Amino acid sequence: MISPEYQQEYYQALLEKKTEYEGLFYVGVKTTGVFCRPTCPARKPKFENCEFYATAQEALLASYRPCQRCRPLSHPNHVSDVVRILVEAVEKEPEKRWREEDFRQLSVDESTARRQFKKRFGMTFVEYARARRMGLALKHIRSGQTVIDTQLSTGYESSSGFRDAFARIMGAAPTLLTEDRVLKASWIDTTLGPMIAVSSEEALYLLEFVDRRGLEREVERLRIKTKSAIIPGMTEPIRLIEQELNTYFSGKSTTFTTPLQLLGSPFQQQVWDQLMKIPAGETRSYAQIASALGKPSAFRAVAQANGANQLAIVIPCHRVINSNGELGGYGGGLTRKTWLLQHERTPLQAIQSSNALIHEQGEYNS
């Protein structure tokens, strides 16, 4: 979300329909559930019902759907047919996962769709559809709405698209009553974008950026492996990790004490243990991790285990780079990897100088 200092300015731009703000922000309207461009001709919402986003993807992930009037996903003066057809198709079946033949059925060329979406919104159509789907699925998790038994039996919402999107990822809610286990999921806003945390009352199972590719399958695997239903809710481990992430992002600490539940093969667990031994501010190569495990030739398996990490930041898979010094991959995206590594190289100094400051102030006070 856009920082508070800009929100008033953007709200003013929204009231005045200022064209120079096109592309700078999108506004989600809480009362209607749609997001708009700054120049939308519709009646303007009250400030307290607005949420401002820098990208359309963020607005989608926050469960907003594109406004029918200002069509925030089209060029201001030109509505592309391809974009319109696809956006409408997504609204008809928001829970759908798109495959090649789906494009053919709509007589839309997949590569044209990819290009047009990428050029205008910085994401491909498949990413758009995923963001919309995840936004819907995570709507209750984001609002922190607790699901009570009556809701479970009557369904979440009248919209079957929403129910299906949620159920496909989090598991069919009604079966909860017969499930042995329940895991709870919460939404955590961070400097690098929203994350989802899934936990039992005892330990954290999953922590990922909401826009991470493959998150849906990750959550599904977790659900199947643990034979659990996942419902929106808060637990002690989630409260703790939220606190620790705050401290981490403000540069005050790089230590995490939240109890973790690692679900992986013995080899994966060994790799993750190694990752947690890499000090903040340093990096290792896949080959170095493999050597540390006494299996120097297993660096590909190490890379795979690295990618299978479900606890972003806490298990610092971002600290593993290629042997040639290149960044390598990152499930949460390379921009985030770069940011995290940069951030971890600076905190000690930051801590020292802020401690010094506190010290000085303390002396003034005494």
15 near Zn ion, rule: CB under 5 A: no
| Active-site residue, 50 included | no
Closest distance to Zn ion from the beta carbon of 325 (Å): 47
Closest distance to Zn ion from the beta carbon of 79 (Å): 13
40 near Zn ion, rule: CB under 5 A: yes
345 near Zn ion, rule: CB under 5 A: no
**Nearer CB in complex with Zn ion: 13/321:** 13
**Nearer CB in complex with Zn ion: 40/303:** 40
Q: Is 50 labelled a binding residue?
A: no
HEC string of the chain equals CCCHHHHHHHHHHHHCCCHHHCCCCEEEECCCCEEECCCCCCCCCCHHHEEEECCHHHHHHCCCEECCCCCCCCECCECCHHHHHHHHHHHHCCCCCCCHHHHHHCCCCHHHHHHHHHHHHCCCHHHHHHHHHHHHHCHHHHHCCCCCHHHHHHCCCCCHHHHHHHHHHHCCHHHHHHCCEEEEEEEEEECCEEEEEEECCCCEEEEEECCCCCHHHHHHHHHHHHCEEEEECCCHHHHHHHHHHHHHHCCCCCCCCCCECCCCCHHHHHHHHHHHCCCCCCCEEHHHHHHHCCCCCCHHHHHHHHHCCCECCCCCHHHEECCCCCCCCCCCCHHHHHHHHHHHHCHHHHHHHHHHHHHHHHHHHC
**Nearer CB in complex with Zn ion: 79/177:** 79
**Nearer CB in complex with Zn ion: 20/101:** 20
14 near Zn ion, rule: CB under 5 A: no
50 near Zn ion, rule: CB under 5 A: no
Q: Is 40 labelled a binding residue?
A: yes
Q: Is 67 labelled a binding residue?
A: yes
Identify the active-site residue in 197, 275, 317, 321: 317
Only segment of 60-68, 164-172, 338-346, 347-355 that touches Zn ion (CB under 5 A): 60-68
The residues in 62-101 that bind Zn ion, with binding defined as CB under 5 A, are: 67, 69-70
Active site residues: 36, 317
Which residues contact Zn ion by CB under 5 A?
36, 40, 42, 67, 69-70
